[in-house]
Amino acid sequence: MKPVAIYARVSSERQKEQETIASQTAALLEHAAGQNWIVPPEWQFLDEGYSGASLVRPGLDGLRDRVAEGQIDTVVVLSPDRLSRKYAYQILLSEELLRHGAKLVYIKSPPVSTPEERLLTQVQGMIAEYERAQILERTRRGKRHRARQGSVNVLSGAPYGYRYMKKTDSSSAYYEVLEAEAAVVRSVFDLFTVKQLSIGAITRTLNERGIPTRTGDSRWERSTVWAMLRNPAYVGKACFGKTERKPRQRITRPLRQKGGYTNRCGANQERPREEWIEIGVPPLIDEATFALAAEQLEKNKRFSQRRTIEPSLLQSILVCARCGYGLYRCSTRTTKHKLYYYRCLGSDSYRHLKHAVCECAPVRQDYLDKLVWEEVVNLLEDPSLLQAEITRRVEAAKKSDPTKKRQQHLQREQSRIEQSMERLLTAYQESLMSLDELRKRVDPLRKQLSAVQSELQAMDAASADQERYLRLVENLDQFRARLHSRAETMDIMEKQKIVRLLIKEVLVGTDTITIRHCLPVPPGPGSHSGPSMGGDGGSRTPDGGSCLLRSWSQRSTLWRSLVAGHAHPVLHQTGL
């Protein structure tokens, strides 16, 4: 009796639960006993939940190490596809074992002693690889087809706030709203969009209130709240195909702690938004709230503090007009005091491979902040601009194509469900079905009809609410009065909030400062064309003469930024 090694593999968690690894091990041990072979426990190499399309498997690596050391001379495997799903990997492994003097034995395959038997083994390997590719492709195309038809089955699970109802003989799968969890979802969006709380603050609030999670035995995490705020299912548009599997780009710390092994051969990455397939589900919030949350998430990404010790007014909104890089704040000391400047990232030679890509000179922070703040105050002094912009946005929201298409789709869905219910009632009246069967088939239709009607009502309320915008205009008068009285005494954080609400970005050019804001400004009498956003642009010189933002010198050294006794260029403000 000689000792031999066995190898078994299953590729999914479902196979692990069904104990197919145990059945493989039992068959291998039975075959070894019939051949009078001994299988030591330490020579039973098992891979549970690992794909046959990858060679990175702990059990297989252990087997290959023992064979390379010369400890094993016979390896028993159930079939070639258990060793690998790729024919090239099968040949690689078999040649490696043969090179180290180990014999490879398949139970469900004839021995490879003749050319015909070797050909049969190769054909089996190629068929296994083809079968795997065919299964993956059929599954992918079948799911995409069902998703385009609006089937919830391809989503399988339901996010927080819903319960996934399985498909039955009388109805297809659908999402059922859980009112207790739906109230938590609405509260999270309200805290984020109305009360302007951060994701961390929302997480702490949920944990302090003792609100249970979906599992009920864990705490709320920031990633959970972040994913909730980005999930389009809460506006009635559950999406299929949001992510895709790609090869792993880097080895993370948890993976290194596991010894470099993982059940997944790749990582999930988000696909472009236009490739997502939308599936209608009952909405929990309106589209306006979800759009506000998306806008706030984008602002948080752009305006994050990034270890900022002392905030500045124009932080994260300054862009170089020449190279497109952002401007950061730096400082230099004089004999009397400390000066702060905004400096282009492209002008730093040490940040780039060969040399600086931009010759934009630094800009004095105090001068530029004062200039931009004065223009923001002047914008808010004109009430007609704000009222015209609010009216324009209301009309644009009413006439937007996505809103019209969604409303038309919901109306068609409502009429279809009502017709289905009428047909069921007609069939019951003609004694074509029983009362129990009628109730079983009508209840899911009633739930779907209620969800569609609630979404239509929410869309009508959002488009028809004119009084709220009129009250907003009235409140803006009071806001302008308070701003005029406190414009000079306001702290930097309050000024920063106002600037970020109105200004999209500030382009710093060689001799111009372009402010792009969200209010359309009519051209002045002496205006000329210039870069602008949201309306016609004009150019003018600020009141009071020249504004000394830079020196005459084109050099980027900070101590030459202000040189007395020389003429300085006037920087125009285009787009105001």
Both 464 and 562 in one domain: the answer is: no
Percent of the chain with pLDDT over 90: 6
Per the CB < 8 A criterion, the answer to whether 312 and 500 are in contact is no
Q: What is the pLDDT of residues 457-504, one digit of tens each?
A: 766 665 555 445 555 555 666 666 777 777 777 888 888 888 887 888
Which pLDDT score is estimated for 304? 74
DSSP line for 156-207: -S--TTEEEEPP-SSS--EEEE-HHHHHHHHHHHHHHHTS---HHHHHHHHH
Indicate the DSSP class of residue 550: S
Domain boundary among 115, 144, 173: 144
Give a yes or no: residue 481 inside a domain: no
Tell me the average pLDDT of the chain. Answer: 76
Both 179 and 236 in one domain: the answer is: yes
Angle 104-106-112 (CA atoms, 0-180°, nearest 5)?
65
- CA gap 218, 420 in Å, rounded: 43
Which pLDDT score is estimated for 203? 92
Picking from 173, 239, 178, the residue whose alpha carbon sits closest to that of residue 212 is 178
Q: What is the pLDDT of residues 168-190, one digit of tens each?
A: 776 778 888 888 899 899 999 99
Which pLDDT score is estimated for 536? 37
Residue 108 pLDDT > 50? yes
Both 179 and 291 in one domain: the answer is: yes
Both 222 and 131 in one domain: the answer is: no
68-71 contact pairs (CB < 8 A, 24+): 68/100, 70/100, 70/101
The structure's pTM equals 0.51
Give a yes or no: residue 478 inside a domain: no
pLDDT confidence band for 526 (50 / 70 / 90): very low
Query: Among the ranges 135-144, 323-332, 540-549, which has the highest mean pLDDT value?
Result: 323-332
Which pLDDT score is estimated for 534? 39
Both 58 and 118 in one domain: the answer is: yes
Rounded to an integer, the average pLDDT of 400-419 is 74
Per the CB < 8 A criterion, the answer to whether 125 and 87 are in contact is yes
Picking from 382, 360, 318, the residue whose alpha carbon sits closest to that of residue 516 is 318
Give a yes or no: residue 16 inside a domain: yes
Amino acid at 542: P
Residue 7 pLDDT > 70? yes
Strand, coil or helix: what is 233? helix
Higher pLDDT, 131 or 340: 340
Picking from 53, 108, 101, the residue whose alpha carbon sits closest to that of residue 75 is 101
Both 419 and 281 in one domain: the answer is: no
- CA gap 15, 56 in Å, rounded: 19
Pairing between β-strand 74-77 and β-strand 44-48 as defined by DSSP bridges: unpaired
Residue 284 pLDDT > 70? yes
Question: In 220-254, which positions are buried (b, 16+ CB within 10 angstroms) versus exposed (e)?
Answer: beeebbbebbebbbbbbbbbbebeeeeeeeeeeee
Tokens representing 159? 């996010």
Which pLDDT score is estimated for 521? 58
Per the CB < 8 A criterion, the answer to whether 206 and 190 are in contact is no
Would you give the distance in Å from CA 369 to the centre of its chain? 34
Which pLDDT score is estimated for 225? 92
pLDDT confidence band for 234 (50 / 70 / 90): very high
Give a yes or no: residue 252 inside a domain: no
- CA gap 455, 523 in Å, rounded: 42
Pairing between β-strand 572-574 and β-strand 512-517 as defined by DSSP bridges: parallel
Rounded to an integer, the average pLDDT of 538-567 is 38
End-to-end CA distance of the chain: 93
Indicate the DSSP class of residue 349: G
Strand, coil or helix: what is 332? strand
Both 291 and 402 in one domain: the answer is: no
Give a yes or no: residue 559 inside a domain: yes
Residue 109 sits in a domain whose CATH number is 3.40.50.1390
Number of alpha carbons in the 13 Å side-chain half-sphere of residue 352: 13
pLDDT confidence band for 558 (50 / 70 / 90): very low
Q: How many residues does the chain have?
A: 576
Both 218 and 295 in one domain: the answer is: yes
Both 124 and 165 in one domain: the answer is: no
Give a yes or no: residue 267 inside a domain: no
Which pLDDT score is estimated for 522? 55
Domain that holds residue 201: 153-241+276-302
Picking from 457, 420, 450, the residue whose alpha carbon sits closest to that of residue 281 is 450
Cβ partners under 8 Å of residue 45, min gap 6? 5, 6, 7, 8, 59, 60, 62, 63
Rounded to an integer, the average pLDDT of 131-152 is 79
Per the CB < 8 A criterion, the answer to whether 519 and 534 are in contact is yes
Lowest mean pLDDT among 29-43, 146-160, 366-380, 533-547: 533-547
Both 295 and 343 in one domain: the answer is: no
Cβ partners under 8 Å of residue 386, min gap 6? 380, 473, 476, 519
Both 8 and 125 in one domain: the answer is: yes
In Å, how far are 59, 67, 284 from 48, measured between CA atoms? 9, 21, 40
- CA gap 71, 159 in Å, rounded: 51
For tokens 């298409």, the residue is 405
Pairing between β-strand 162-165 and β-strand 174-177 as defined by DSSP bridges: antiparallel
- CA gap 182, 198 in Å, rounded: 20
Cβ partners under 8 Å of residue 136, min gap 6? none
Give a yes or no: residue 97 inside a domain: yes
Give a yes or no: residue 367 inside a domain: yes
Residue 233 sits in a domain whose CATH number is 3.90.1750.20
Number of domains in the chain: 4
Domain boundary among 112, 144, 176: 144
In Å, how far are 498, 516, 517, 576 from 501, measured between CA atoms? 5, 12, 9, 16
Both 82 and 45 in one domain: the answer is: yes
344-347 contact pairs (CB < 8 A, 24+): 344/320, 344/508, 345/320, 346/320, 346/322, 347/556
- CA gap 576, 571 in Å, rounded: 13
φ and ψ of 48, to 5 deg? -105, 120
Q: What is the pLDDT of residues 263-275, one digit of tens each?
A: 555 567 788 888 8
Domain boundary among 125, 144, 163: 144
Tokens representing 359? 């010759």
DSSP line for 57-113: -HHHHHHHHHHHTT--SEEEES-HHHH-SSHHHHHHHHHHHHHTT-EEEETTS----
Rounded to an integer, the average pLDDT of 248-269 is 62
Higher pLDDT, 405 or 334: 334
pLDDT confidence band for 399 (50 / 70 / 90): low
